[in-house]
Chain A
């Protein structure tokens, strides 16, 4: 067991060992810088791998190979992409607002990186343990909207302005269900600290962990959170802000070279950050899925879960077609929002009902019945939701 603990804590130990070389006065600063640099390097590497995985995975889903020319099996493709982005000319439109045009991608990437400050990557491996960590996460995420607006407006292009308006409308609409879904966890955990929320889930009954996703309200909350997170990070099927068939590329249409790459990085970092938050809130953070699997390092479990969620995002992108704007808004306000409110009621009942099967029955019914009713009652432009029949394709 001691060896497992040593492996688990090896990065913490390494951090302490490295910081010990610095004079005592500078130690807090050195520790902070080391942590920040590590987080940046790790998540940028993960970003590169995710892009490769996405291109390969989408290729397979669309019955083609995907990148396979740069390096063995195309694994050096992210490097080639990076070099291409750096050496490209940076074209700024003549009528653009230069200062705001420059600041927008910077703001988006900075906000995306700030999110990782409160994510516990492993046992005792969060950059900061804020008392209001969840609040911090959502406060920082809301800054991305401003960056999107700045990009769309400063480019002085119709397409980019349309894209920005779509993006902001979408992000505002989906921020509400996302926050309300996260509130359910905060209600039960009784704390806003991400570290404490994970610690509460890292206990076991027999082999089964106490993850919040394994309760009726937690499962609903997780699903709602992930749907809202997909929309927040402008991923397919909610990628209207950059719908290439309608507005070419949306709010970053007038960006080229490395600034475009910054938007790309920001989008993927945002997606990874919301996935990490979903893991923290519902999937037990760094805790092992079974009690007998605790020998595996906690940071390993965190990244296994993160990559699994990213694969889910890629799968969704390869499967689902893009929504229309009105469908998008209907879905958020008429389905997600009522569901999150119902889920909050179920969470409150779960908190105060005595432990037992009755609790499962009541809370489960309280979630499943509204789900069925709401799903059936949505009036998608007068069409009833039913199995679609293809006349000539079957």
Chain B
């Protein structure tokens, strides 16, 4: 475990925890974005360039922006009052119990004894070759679907243009 991994792990965890605990919705989205970015850096640190950069492009550039835009257009973006719950003690007990149960089950199942397989090569070239040979049909179908969605959106937008806007 290197120092770089530790820093990135702490940043990612901090971002995700802050996303769940902050009062302000926009702050939550920004913290979540930090978590996304930290995850992308972790991928990059594992030499998985394509996965890491796609994570950055899709989650930071797409999902986060979409969330932000949705909040801006719908929500008044004012902080909401914390829901007045008094069951936090019960919640803690249930969470701890579930954690102990799961940890016990995982420990018994012998997952830890498994040996790690050799790290797969996640280079751009390998992913490209795999996509264009083994997974050509799913790739083509997804490509067709996305292009159809894009063209369809444009066609819908073109139709309503006359008169009003």
Other 8 A-B pairs with CB < 8 A, given A168-B65, A175-B61, A334-B158: A139-B53, A145-B65, A153-B26, A165-B72, A172-B65, A333-B153, A338-B151, A379-B161
Q: A205 in the interface, Cβ–Cβ < 8 Å?
A: no
Residue of B nearest to A377 (CB): B158
Q: B123 in the interface, Cβ–Cβ < 8 Å?
A: yes
Is B157's CB under 8 angstroms from A334's CB?
Answer: yes
CA of A379 to CA of B150 in the docked complex: distance in angstroms? Answer: 19
B interface vs A, CB < 8 Å?
A: 26-27, 30, 33, 40, 49-50, 53-54, 56-57, 60-62, 64-65, 68-69, 72-73, 77, 123-125, 147, 150-151, 153-154, 157-158, 161-163, 165
Residue of A nearest to B71 (CB): A153
Q: Which 5 A-B pairs have the closest CB atoms?
A: A142-B61, A139-B56, A139-B57, A135-B53, A131-B124
Residue of A nearest to B72 (CB): A165
CA of A99 to CA of B146 in the docked complex: distance in angstroms? Answer: 38
Residue of B nearest to A381 (CB): B165
26 contacts between A and B (CB under 8 A): A100-B30, A131-B49, A131-B50, A132-B124, A135-B50, A135-B124, A139-B54, A139-B57, A140-B56, A142-B57, A142-B62, A142-B65, A143-B56, A143-B61, A146-B60, A168-B65, A168-B69, A169-B69, A175-B61, A192-B124, A330-B161, A334-B154, A341-B151, A379-B158, A381-B165, A382-B162
CA of A320 to CA of B145 in the docked complex: distance in angstroms? Answer: 38
Q: A253 in the interface, Cβ–Cβ < 8 Å?
A: no
Q: Which of A131-165 contact B (CB under 8 A)?
A: 131-132, 135-136, 138-143, 145-146, 149-150, 153, 161, 164-165
Tell whether A149 pairs with B68 under 8 Å between CB atoms, given A132-B50, A135-B50.
Answer: yes
Secondary structure of the B contact surface, majority rule: helix
CA of A143 to CA of B123 in the docked complex: distance in angstroms? Answer: 23
- In the assembled complex, how far is the CB of residue A358 from the closest CB belonging to chain B, in whole angstroms? 27
A interface vs B, CB < 8 Å?
A: 100, 130-132, 135-136, 138-143, 145-146, 149-150, 153, 161, 164-165, 168-169, 172, 175-176, 192, 326, 330, 333-334, 337-338, 341, 379, 381-382
CA of A144 to CA of B61 in the docked complex: distance in angstroms? Answer: 9
Is B53's CB under 8 angstroms from A149's CB?
Answer: no
CA of A278 to CA of B73 in the docked complex: distance in angstroms? Answer: 34
Is B150's CB under 8 angstroms from A337's CB?
Answer: yes
Tell whether A138 pairs with B64 under 8 Å between CB atoms, given A146-B33, A334-B157.
Answer: no
Is A139's CB under 8 angstroms from B61's CB?
Answer: yes
Tell whether A338 pairs with B154 under 8 Å between CB atoms, given A136-B53, A139-B53, A379-B162.
Answer: yes
Residue of B nearest to A180 (CB): B150
Secondary structure of the A contact surface, majority rule: helix
The one of A143, A168, A333 that contacts B60, using a Cβ cutoff of 8 Å:
A143
CA of A338 to CA of B68 in the docked complex: distance in angstroms? Answer: 28
The one of A132, A175, A337, A381 that contacts B53, using a Cβ cutoff of 8 Å:
A132
CA of A382 to CA of B151 in the docked complex: distance in angstroms? Answer: 22
- In the assembled complex, how far is the CB of residue A29 from the closest CB belonging to chain B, in whole angstroms? 13
CB neighbours of A176 from chain B (8 A): 150
Residue of A nearest to B77 (CB): A153
Is B125's CB under 8 angstroms from A131's CB?
Answer: yes
- In the assembled complex, how far is the CB of residue A118 from the closest CB belonging to chain B, in whole angstroms? 11
CB neighbours of B30 from chain A (8 A): 100, 146, 150
Is A132's CB under 8 angstroms from B49's CB?
Answer: yes
CA of A154 to CA of B159 in the docked complex: distance in angstroms? Answer: 37
- In the assembled complex, how far is the CB of residue B119 from the closest CB belonging to chain A, in whole angstroms? 16
The one of A153, A175, A326, A333 that contacts B154, using a Cβ cutoff of 8 Å:
A333
- In the assembled complex, how far is the CB of residue A346 from the closest CB belonging to chain B, in whole angstroms? 15
CA of A301 to CA of B33 in the docked complex: distance in angstroms? Answer: 39
CB neighbours of A141 from chain B (8 A): 61
CA of A100 to CA of B84 in the docked complex: distance in angstroms? Answer: 28
CA of A153 to CA of B147 in the docked complex: distance in angstroms? Answer: 33
Tell whether A146 pairs with B64 under 8 Å between CB atoms, given A138-B57, A139-B56.
Answer: yes
Is B50's CB under 8 angstroms from A161's CB?
Answer: no
CB neighbours of B50 from chain A (8 A): 131-132, 135
CB neighbours of B123 from chain A (8 A): 131
CA of A381 to CA of B40 in the docked complex: distance in angstroms? Answer: 44
- In the assembled complex, how far is the CB of residue A293 from the closest CB belonging to chain B, in whole angstroms? 33
Residue of B nearest to A136 (CB): B53
The one of B60, B61, B147 that contacts A341, using a Cβ cutoff of 8 Å:
B147
CA of A153 to CA of B33 in the docked complex: distance in angstroms? Answer: 16
CB neighbours of B49 from chain A (8 A): 130-132, 135-136
CB neighbours of B61 from chain A (8 A): 138-139, 141-143, 145, 175
